[in-house]
Chains A and B, each alone.
Chain A
Amino acid sequence: MKKSGQFYLIGLLIIVVGIMWGTYQQAIDITTFSQFKPEKKASLHKPVRYFGVVSRYTPREIFQGYQPIMDYLTKNTSYQFELKLSSSYEGTAIQLARGDISVAAFGSFLYVTHKDDYDLEVILQPLNKDGESINHLMFIAHESKSIQSIRDLEGLSIVLPSKESLTGQWMPLYIEQTTGIKFNDFNSIEYVSHHTTVAELVLSGEFDVGVVKEPVAEMAIQKGLKIIHSVPVSATSPLVISANTDSITKDEIIDAFLSLKIQSNENKDFLKNWDEEFSYGFKRSTDADYDPIRKILKSINNIP
């Protein structure tokens, strides 16, 4: 190669090395920025109202299923709604009575038993997926178990939700009345705080049978449990206010829930994130709607 060619190549090499050196610092600069979008709470300046939920689920599950409902209420009322939890069913009733919360998602049994104690008023009750105000209590067992009906429960272990719930209170009596199996005929009976905990214990095999609310039972089916028996109850878990709740708040809550269009495509997406019990809409409710529960309560109280 002639000298001119060598000079050309050397020149080219110098340029390449120069470019490499020049771009090196830029190449290894790993500085990055991505815009952070903090939560924008348009409602931050609205007056706050607290919404109570009985401890039928764990606090995490309650926030998971009820926080979107708070967002909905905040958006559709003049208030910013925040969840306020309680460690017991009755704790929620007390919060309501004290005015710590404006409204609460109650258990039907809790309402019936504490209505007069805390001057409670039922305003709405949720509908099930068939549009009826009927609740189902489900007996669940592991798929691998040979249990086919509640008549097979003798000698088995059973786990139930809180004694403060309708399920916890009524099911032993219901089993006895339906099958003749008495309390002492079970190998063991245990009460736990939450419906989901019942499902988990049956799934893990620690108990043979459990009784839960319908939405929990449907989730449990997907995880390997089966439903062996269903008990319809002619009243769903109500939304309850107390005498402390002002009428404006009450009316706005009622309007917001009754105006919810569950069939609307626009709403379907956010309803998926709601606690299933509340995702099929509501109807106005009165105290008389809970007479069937009172009847059950009466039968329980008549046990000597």
Chain B
Amino acid sequence: MAKFYPPFELSEKLGKKMVEIDAPDLEAFLKRGSELAGKDLSAESKRFAILINGRNIRYLKGFKTPLGPDDEVFFVYGSGGG
């Protein structure tokens, strides 16, 4: 099961900061996550960078990136400060 750390608005809706999703790759993960969240996560991915185990999917295999047990998926937006 891969671990999904959704953006804050979604985690508030789900009542959880982390949700486990069983999927062989990111594409399937987004499909199952969408059912769970009640919104299209593929569309959300146009607003957020998707990171798997800390790495942007641009440097992996994009939406075809395979997912294994304990892999971690984050949706993040650009930010700054410090």
Tell me whether A and B are bound partners.
Answer: no
Residues of chain A at the chain B interface (Cβ within 8 Å): none
Q: Hey, which bits of chain B sit against chain A, CB under 8 A?
A: none
